[in-house]
A and B are shown apart, each in its own frame.
Chain A
């Protein structure tokens, strides 16, 4: 036979059956790959070199995947997904004074951001007014924001009845109380206000983040439930609860653990709300989630797809809800700062791009991309612009939004989604065995789990098993002077701000302050009445966030993190 004939006879043949072909491939693979090593993802799942139809079957398509907006939600929570509306570009910003924040947020909105996010200074996080903390620290990590007046300046010229607002406002949600008072002053009905109390889930702060100023655990539980109840009634488009997996993953939980712990937290909140007699249909629609996106690309995609499927099933099975709208697993995600490196910092743009892609393929509703300088300092304006441009490039130039769930049907992604689901369910089971998330955090069980995983991941970097470019491989001598330098807030401007607060404190009606303090204290003591409603009254009467929180700390107790070294 000549060459041409050989080729012809080959193309005439039927391809060998799948089992024969698979066997041949496996044998060739084994022969040609001298090094036999087991590959695992961060969640510990062993990965094959190749996935084929034998790893998943189209027979179960409707049961396991379905269509977007339909049970079991694996492919997305809305029929249109990113074809219809892409995602909110939510950049975290906050630096200096309310005036600084206002100027910067206007620029970011002009640059294409469609929602805004307000990060307060760590002093606010911890529940202190700016005249109560070391002046060096003021405004270095977020906006110094203590009063209704400060909130008014932050939101100057911003139509917050049209722009969705995310407040990084952990309980007792003083920033939300200030926002609602500002709304009243501008005649904006509360029913028009949309947005989220970001990172509001107190359990995640006790488990991992510790940024909370921390009322005691039981005190936190009460304030959180009061606020959920209040918003359901009076601020119906506000999401008072964002359940945070991001804290746990940033603290070291594997992606599967982080998802499992987050879903367990959601179950805890839902059970607590139910115990108060609230209607699941009302509170579950307002649950939102917040996750970390690590650079473990396929694992993250599978994590989100599996989480979405599990949540839809939990809503149905635990609460007997058949309405698919309630099953929607709405989530915001942030690219992981822990994967970024100080070495060769521009490389972080590539890392953030990969992370953002994983989140987009995972079907997110809102995205924050980290500035590449996150690991050097609080991100500066230029880095924040690159971060937003990254999202726009992925959307418009890379066309990631043209097709819904574009990796659905990939033998690998579907198989990994199933395996991640099993891992996540294992975590949920472990937490159930501890009596739920509240108890598991109170006993330190969760903190130990997260700490162990953090250590084991760090071991992989130390041993070189996990290569990090520029850190344990591909190192280079670097010229540190080329790194961006963020200016610290001007001490004088900050001192001015502190003086303004002191002035405001001395000029307000002391009678109103005293009355309002007494009323807030009474509600806190009585265990009846809604604490969040009392906080709004207190903000309106001129109490600062530090004063409101001081009262609640006295009455409800101060929380301390468990030390699990």
Chain B
């Protein structure tokens, strides 16, 4: 299993929009937690504003959005809200059923990565680790 460096990444695992299928988000949350990360997990149907608020309060490095229906279509809005809140350093990943065309749109909106069905645990953990380091480096200095 991948090692966690250089400090435990803080990851918000959540679902936005209308869908409630949470098998994937629960499994991913367990994987990240077992890899030593600090995981903040929410139930489905979060409002975009609550996600931004939670991300700020919990000082997360990475937000993972699970989307099994079409709720990923709201992610560009989330990216704008994060940016408006001064949280552009936070890296956002999306996992679930995301059609190819939509993936291009999400990337354009600033999403770091889209995980499709069949992604491995190792890949997810490695990627979150790297993104957490990027987020750390991109943090505004005070």
Complex Cα distance, B26 from A134, in Å, reads 25
How many B residues are at the interface, by size bracket?
Answer: 20 to 34
Residues of A within 8 A of B116 (CB): 342
A210-B21, A485-B101 known; A141+B118 contact, CB < 8 A:
no
A141-B70, A471-B118 known; A454+B20 contact, CB < 8 A:
no
Residues of B within 8 A of A480 (CB): 100
A413 at the interface (CB under 8 A from B): no
Contact of B70 among A137, A341, A455, A565 (CB under 8 A): A137
- The answer to whether A210 touches B70, judged by C-beta atoms less than 8 angstroms apart, is no
- The answer to whether A563 touches B42, judged by C-beta atoms less than 8 angstroms apart, is yes
- The answer to whether B73 touches A136, judged by C-beta atoms less than 8 angstroms apart, is yes
Q: Which of B115-132 contact A (CB under 8 A)?
A: 116-118, 120-121
- The answer to whether A126 touches B30, judged by C-beta atoms less than 8 angstroms apart, is no
Q: Which of A460-492 contact B (CB under 8 A)?
A: 462, 468, 470-472, 480-481, 483, 485-486
Residues of A within 8 A of B73 (CB): 136-137, 140
A209 at the interface (CB under 8 A from B): yes
B111 at the interface (CB under 8 A from A): no
One digit per residue, 1 when the CB lies within 8 angstroms of any chain A CB and 0 when it does not, for chain B 42-64 equals 11110000000000000000000
Q: Which of A211-266 contact B (CB under 8 A)?
A: 211-212, 250-252
How close is A258's CB to chain B, nearest CB, in angstroms?
13
A136-B74, A140-B70, A468-B118 known; A565+B29 contact, CB < 8 A:
yes
How close is B28's CB to chain A, nearest CB, in angstroms?
10
Q: Which of A439-471 contact B (CB under 8 A)?
A: 451, 454-455, 458, 462, 468, 470-471
Q: Which of B32-49 contact A (CB under 8 A)?
A: 33, 39, 41-45
A80 at the interface (CB under 8 A from B): no
- CB pairs A–B below 8 angstroms (9 shown): A209-B21, A343-B118, A377-B97, A451-B26, A455-B27, A458-B27, A468-B118, A560-B43, A561-B43
How close is B117's CB to chain A, nearest CB, in angstroms?
5
- The answer to whether B44 touches A134, judged by C-beta atoms less than 8 angstroms apart, is no
B6 at the interface (CB under 8 A from A): no
Task: Count chain B CB atoms within 10 A of each CB in A137, A376, A483, A563 and give the residue with the most.
Answer: A137
Q: Which of A509-565 contact B (CB under 8 A)?
A: 560-561, 563-565
A137-B70, A377-B97, A483-B100 known; A209+B20 contact, CB < 8 A:
yes
A304 at the interface (CB under 8 A from B): no
Residues of B within 8 A of A485 (CB): 99-101
How close is A277's CB to chain B, nearest CB, in angstroms?
34
Residues of A within 8 A of B29 (CB): 565
How close is A23's CB to chain B, nearest CB, in angstroms?
45
- The answer to whether A342 touches B19, judged by C-beta atoms less than 8 angstroms apart, is no
Contact of B99 among A133, A211, A341, A486 (CB under 8 A): A486
- The answer to whether B30 touches A375, judged by C-beta atoms less than 8 angstroms apart, is no
Count A-side interface residues using an 8 Å CB cutoff: 46
Complex Cα distance, B93 from A80, in Å, reads 53
Contact of A134 among B21, B33, B74, B121 (CB under 8 A): B74
Count the A-B residue pairs with Cβ separation under 8 angstroms: how many? 102
Complex Cα distance, B52 from A538, in Å, reads 38
A125 at the interface (CB under 8 A from B): yes
Given contacts A133-B18, A134-B77, 15 further A-B contacts (CB under 8 A): A134-B74, A137-B71, A137-B73, A141-B70, A209-B21, A210-B22, A251-B23, A376-B99, A378-B70, A470-B118, A481-B100, A563-B41, A563-B42, A565-B26, A565-B39
Complex Cα distance, B116 from A501, in Å, reads 36
A294 at the interface (CB under 8 A from B): no
How close is A370's CB to chain B, nearest CB, in angstroms?
13
Contact of A565 among B18, B30, B118, B120 (CB under 8 A): B30
Contact of A137 among B18, B41, B99, B117 (CB under 8 A): B18
- With both beta carbons as reference points, the residue of chain B lying nearest to A463 in the complex is identified as B121
Complex Cα distance, B69 from A378, in Å, reads 8
A417 at the interface (CB under 8 A from B): no
B8 at the interface (CB under 8 A from A): no
Residues of A within 8 A of B27 (CB): 454-455, 458
Residues of A within 8 A of B20 (CB): 205, 209-212, 561
Complex Cα distance, B116 from A141, in Å, reads 18
- The answer to whether B19 touches A462, judged by C-beta atoms less than 8 angstroms apart, is no
A197 at the interface (CB under 8 A from B): no
B17 at the interface (CB under 8 A from A): yes
Q: Which of A369-392 contact B (CB under 8 A)?
A: 375-378
- The answer to whether B19 touches A211, judged by C-beta atoms less than 8 angstroms apart, is yes
Residues of B within 8 A of A481 (CB): 100
- The answer to whether B18 touches A125, judged by C-beta atoms less than 8 angstroms apart, is yes
How close is A344's CB to chain B, nearest CB, in angstroms?
10
One digit per residue, 1 when the CB lies within 8 angstroms of any chain B CB and 0 when it does not, for chain A 4-22 equals 0000000000000000000
- With both beta carbons as reference points, the residue of chain A lying nearest to B48 in the complex is identified as A134
How close is A200's CB to chain B, nearest CB, in angstroms?
16
- With both beta carbons as reference points, the residue of chain A lying nearest to B22 in the complex is identified as A210
- The answer to whether A137 touches B43, judged by C-beta atoms less than 8 angstroms apart, is no
